[in-house]
């Protein structure tokens, strides 16, 4: 049953992810590619959409993946209905572990707040969270800038299609995000809108393809 598998996988992701949505990405990537729910390009697109739409990033991504899994089970109106079912299942599954843990923590917080073992575990977890986030940044960055790169089949072709256009857009938006006007940095929403408009103009209107400038 795909929906039971979807629930179980996202329950595990929600249970073992520490550090927020970006730390979740390595596990999400492994799961969706392993089960063939999305390909790598679709996952990157869903990540961009999840970051750009309102709401927590991790929950948005779970909702989009669940909708795609459900929609793929049937055609037409039934596919749309199953898409909503899949979205509800994956969203509920990914937040359920946090809900359970928060309830337990609130019950036991005073007792374990100053426990040396609990504090030691939290200190040990921090560098792993940083590593998971950096891993997600690295793998997604490579997929965007070097779309032909496959570590299991390295060749000259793997490095032949460097996406200079996306790199220049990334650098431009990063610079804009650091500029202060009257003591204030540019709002992230405005950066997202500018990126979308730039993508429409460069890749849509002008017809520029990846790997060209």
Tens digits of per-residue pLDDT, 68-87? Answer: 999 888 888 888 899 999 99
Judge if 97 and 180 occupy the same domain: no
> Are 117 and 193 in a shared domain?
no
- Confirm whether 212 is domain-assigned: no
Which residues have C-beta within 8 Å of that of residue 143, sequence separation ≥ 6? 40, 41, 44, 149
Do 181 and 135 share a structural domain? no
51 lies in some domain: yes
Q: Where are the alpha helices (DSSP H) in the chain?
A: 2-16, 21-34, 40-52, 57-71, 76-112, 116-145, 164-178, 188-199
Query: Is residue 80 domain-shared with residue 120, that is, in the same domain?
Result: yes
Residue 213 placed within a domain? no
The answer on 91 and 34 residing in a single domain is yes
Together in a domain, 49 and 139: yes
- The answer to whether 212 and 165 have CB atoms below 8 angstroms apart is yes
> Is residue 133 domain-resident?
yes
Domain span at residue 44 reads 2-145
pTM: 0.64
pLDDT, mean over the chain: 81
Instruction: Determine the Cα–Cα distance for residues 15 and 42; give it in Å rounded to an integer.
Output: 24
One domain for residues 139 and 177? no
95-109, 122-136, 168-182: segment of lowest average pLDDT = 122-136
pLDDT score at 7 = 94
pLDDT band at 88 (very low <50, low <70, confident <90, very high): very high
| Residue 28 located in a structural domain | yes
Same domain for 63 and 107, yes or no, is yes
The tens digit of pLDDT for each residue in 171-203 reads 888 888 888 877 888 888 888 888 888 888 887
DSSP assigned state of 200 = I
Confidence of residue 150 (pLDDT cuts 50, 70, 90): low
Tell me which of 106, 126, 145 is where a domain ends.
145
Residues 54 and 74 in one domain: yes
Q: Is residue 210 part of a domain?
A: no
Evaluate whether 135 touches 149 at the Cβ level (below 8 Å).
no
Same domain, 109 and 178: no
Question: Within this chain, do residues 107 and 13 fall inside the same structural domain, yes or no?
Answer: yes
Asked whether residue 56 is domain-assigned, the answer is yes
The larger pLDDT score, comparing residue 149 to residue 24, is at 24
The tokens describing 112, both together, are 């374990």
**118 assigned to some structural domain:** yes
Residues 93, 195: one domain?
A: no
Number of domains in the chain: 2
């Amino acid at each position: 049953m795909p929906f039971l598998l979807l629930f179980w996988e996202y329950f595990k992701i929600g249970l073992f992810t520490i550090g927020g949505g970006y730390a979740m990405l390595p596990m999400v990537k492994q799961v969706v590619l392993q089960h063939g729910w999305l390909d790598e390009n679709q996952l990157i697109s869903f990540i961009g959409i999840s970051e750009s739409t309102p709401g927590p990033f991790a929950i948005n991504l779970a909702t989009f993946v669940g909708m795609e899994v459900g929609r793929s089970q049937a055609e037409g109106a039934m596919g749309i209905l199953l898409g909503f079912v899949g979205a509800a299942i994956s969203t509920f599954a990914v937040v359920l572990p946090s809900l359970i843990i928060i309830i337990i923590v609130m019950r036991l917080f005073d007792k374990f707040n100053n426990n040396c073992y609990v504090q030691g575990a939290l200190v040990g977890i921090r560098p792993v969270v940083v590593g998971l986030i950096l891993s997600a940044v690295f793998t997604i960055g490579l997929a965007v800038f070097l779309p032909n790169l496959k570590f299991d089949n390295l060749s000259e072709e793997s490095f032949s299609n460097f996406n200079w256009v996306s790199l220049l857009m990334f650098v431009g938006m990063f610079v804009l995000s650091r500029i202060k006007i009257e003591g204030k940095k540019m709002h992230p929403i405005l950066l997202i809108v500018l990126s979308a408009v730039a993508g429409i103009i460069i890749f849509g209107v002008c017809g520029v393809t990846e790997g060209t400038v």
